[in-house]
């Protein structure tokens, strides 16, 4: 099996990855899970009850309709943003517009800060942490879209753990873009999804920007800390 334990193929561009997990809480009352794995790498058999707090939002700027989902006290878009701003930098994966309908656009950080429609905003790291704390353990698989490429049922490749998407968040492996040459370099579609947050943190190395990710090798959500604003990550807006 291909080694997919790294989010980015150029690990020096990432200052650190922090795995966050907390204990189970009331969300477990909304789902039932049973897991039996013969090995630590085997996909678990899981039965869940889907989130029914699903609605939709029409972006008045371009008419795009997005599914939305209420998780705890938050309302998130359940699809990646696909808005084309008049200013800023954004890309379709592999520069193919056919990818936008499924994965949305990849935005650089400065563009992502102001790309959400009125009444919505780019979530902060505090918003992501609230989401993670609410969901408890195995947060990643609760947020990931179900199915795999190998089985012909989804878009994730070689999942180490079966995704349940019990939240309705439908996190997709939309990959990322980095500045490399005239057209940039696109990586990791099918293997990971990366989303910007509005948060900068302070460290001895500078002012890293925080992103958050899902990967095909982990059950959890992970944070991404980097100094490069020019990467292209996906955007999920959260309601104000």
d(CA 212, CA 109): 13
What pLDDT is stored for residue 23 in this prediction? Answer: 35
Mean pLDDT of 95-114: 98
| H-only helix segments in 34-115 | 100-103, 109-112
Residue 202 within a domain = yes
Question: Which structural domain range is residue 66 located in?
Answer: 12-22+53-239
pLDDT band of residue 101 (cuts 50, 70, 90) is very high
| Average model confidence (pLDDT) across the chain | 82
Residue 6 within a domain = no
Residue 44 within a domain = no
Mean pLDDT of 105-134: 98
pLDDT band of residue 123 (cuts 50, 70, 90) is very high
Residue 232 within a domain = yes
Q: Does pLDDT of 22 surpass 60?
A: no
Residue 198 within a domain = yes
Residue 37 within a domain = no
Q: Does pLDDT of 89 surpass 50?
A: yes
Q: What percent of the chain clears pLDDT 90, i.e. is strictly above it?
A: 69
Mean pLDDT of 124-133: 97
What pLDDT is stored for residue 21 in this prediction? Answer: 35
What's the pLDDT tens digit per position in 27-83?
333 333 333 333 333 333 333 456 778 999 999 999 999 999 999 999 999 999 999
What's the pLDDT tens digit per position in 200-234?
876 555 568 889 999 999 999 999 988 889 999 99
d(CA 60, CA 118): 9
Residue 149 within a domain = yes
What's the pLDDT tens digit per position in 156-173?
999 999 999 999 999 999
Name the token pair of 115: 């790309």
What pLDDT is stored for residue 144 in this prediction? Answer: 98
- Judge contact between 22 and 137, C-beta under 8 A: yes
> How many C-alpha atoms does 163 have within 13 Å on its Cβ side?
32
Residue 199 — φ and ψ, nearest 5°?
A: -95, 130
Residue 46 within a domain = no
Number of domains in the chain: 1
d(CA 14, CA 95): 24
What pLDDT is stored for residue 119 in this prediction? Answer: 98
């Amino acid at each position: 099996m291909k080694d997919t334990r790294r989010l980015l193929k150029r690990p020096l561009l990432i200052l650190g990855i922090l795995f966050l997990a907390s204990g189970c809480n009331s969300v477990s009352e909304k789902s039932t899970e049973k897991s039996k794995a013969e090995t630590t790498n085997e996909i678990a058999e899981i039965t869940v009850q889907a989130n029914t707090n699903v609605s939709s939002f029409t972006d008045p700027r371009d008419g795009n309709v997005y599914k939305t989902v209420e998780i705890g006290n938050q309302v998130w878009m359940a699809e990646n943003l696909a808005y084309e701003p008049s200013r800023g930098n954004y890309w379709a994966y592999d520069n193919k517009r056919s990818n936008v309908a499924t994965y949305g656009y990849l935005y650089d950080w400065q563009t992502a800060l102001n790309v959400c429609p009125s009444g919505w905003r780019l979530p902060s790291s505090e918003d992501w942490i609230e989401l993670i704390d609410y969901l408890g353990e195995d947060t990643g698989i609760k947020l990931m879209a179900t199915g795999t490429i190998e089985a012909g049922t989804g878009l994730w490749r070689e999942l180490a753990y079966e995704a349940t998407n019990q939240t309705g968040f439908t996190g997709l492996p939309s990959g990322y873009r980095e500045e490399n040459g005239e057209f940039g370099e696109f990586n990791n579609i099918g293997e990971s999804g990366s989303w910007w947050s509005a948060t900068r943190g302070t460290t001895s190395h500078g002012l890293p920007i925080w992103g958050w990710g899902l990967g095909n090798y982990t059950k959890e959500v992970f944070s991404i800390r980097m100094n490069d604003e020019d990467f292209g990550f996906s955007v999920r807006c959260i309601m104000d």
